[in-house]
Structure 1
Amino acid sequence: TGDVTDEADNCDSGLEATYSDAVADGNCANESVITRTWSVTDDCGNTATLVQTINIVDTTAPTFTVPADVTIECDQDANDLTLTGDV
């Protein structure tokens, strides 16, 4: 989600931004919203704060493979088939 790399102050050159997160549930079990609050404080106690919103979403549909097509006689039970043949 990135890092702050442009901390700047007119008198302090050793600034390092820090953050804290608040996490809220999303619309399903795999989704969430992170509200990340970044702050940086100089040697004199002056603080700047900015908020970043990180949306974790699940937009990828599941995938699956179905068995190959098969033809059976009308008197066969489609739920009880034994397939034979060369592999």
Structure 2
Amino acid sequence: MSALPVILLMWGVTYPVRLLGLSLGRLQLPPFWLAFLRFVPVSVFAALIVPDVLGSPEWPRRLVGCAVGMGLMWRSRNLALGIMGGLAAYWVARLAGL
């Protein structure tokens, strides 16, 4: 199969989806939907993180790192500090044999 039909097919699928997203940007949503959509990023983040943390054989270490990282981000509102603190807590727990 030639590359050109594959590229055109990918364009034909991707372009309308992105165009729809851009055209809906001007849409005025009711307050209910605005309140509902406020929690979508948190839900997606939890759906990505929770299975990885709790579904691993080393879940106690990962749970410690997550708890420390979440606590630091919650208190400081600093993403970099939360990530570095969570990683440091994970490695301390790993070196401690947890």
Q: Same fold (TM over 0.5)?
A: no
Structure number with the higher strand fraction is 1
- How does the TM-score come out when normalised to structure 2? 0.20
- How does the TM-score come out when normalised to structure 1? 0.22
Larger Rg: 1 or 2?
1
Structure number with the higher helix fraction is 2
